[in-house]
C-alpha cells in the first residue's frame, strides 16, 4: 500500500526541532522524502501500524500535526507531480 505522510511540527523551541528530526527519521526508515514535510512510503499492513505507532510517539499532539493518507490503486494513476521531483520508484523495473 502506498502512503503519503505529511507533518507540521512546531519548531519554535529546541524540543520541537528535535521532534522534527525524529519524525523525519522515522519516515525515512519507511519511505522517500518528496518534499520538506512530505514522504511517500510503500508498506504492508503490519509496517503501517508500526510506523503509525512510532510517529505518534514522536509528535506533541498539542501543537504538531501528522496526517497519513492511503493511496488506493496504482501510484502513477493518482499522483500528478510538477516541478522538482526526485522520487525514485524502486517497485518499477530498473532499466540500466
Q: Residue 58: CA atoms inside 13 Å, Cβ hemisphere, count? A: 24
Residues 39, 31 contacting (CB under 8 angstroms): yes
Q: Does 92 bind its own copies (CB under 8 A)?
A: no
Q: Does 35 bind its own copies (CB under 8 A)?
A: yes
Which residue among 17, 29, 65, 89 contacts its own copies (CB under 8 A)? 65
Total binding residues for its own copies by CB under 8 A? 36
CA 35 from centre of chain: 9
Q: Does 66 bind its own copies (CB under 8 A)?
A: yes
* Phi then psi dihedrals of residue 14, to 5 deg: -60, -40
Which triple of cell numbers denotes residue 19?
521532534
Residue 8 annotated as part of some ligand binding site: yes
Other beta carbons within 10 Å of 57: 10
Q: Considering only the stretches 24-32, 74-82, 88-96, report the one whose residues sit in contact with its own copies under the rule CB under 8 A.
A: 74-82
Annotated binding residues for Mg(2+), as ranges?
Answer: 8
Contact positions vs its own copies (CB under 8 A): 4, 6-8, 34-38, 52, 55-56, 59-73, 77-85
Amino acid at each position: 500500500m502506498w502512503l503519503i505522510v505529511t507533518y507540521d511540527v512546531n519548531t519554535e523551541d529546541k524540543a520541537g526541532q528535535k521532534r522534527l528530526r525524529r519524525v523525519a527519521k522515522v519516515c525515512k526508515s519507511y519511505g522517500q522524502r518528496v518534499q520538506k514535510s512530505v514522504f511517500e512510503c510503500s508498506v504492508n499492513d503490519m509496517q503501517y501500524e508500526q510506523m503509525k505507532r512510532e510517529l505518534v510517539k514522536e509528535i506533541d499532539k498539542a501543537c504538531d500535526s501528522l496526517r497519513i493518507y492511503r493511496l488506493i490503486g496504482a501510484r502513477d494513476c493518482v499522483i500528478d507531480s510538477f516541478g522538482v521531483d526526485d522520487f525514485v520508484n524502486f517497485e518499477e523495473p530498473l532499466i540500466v
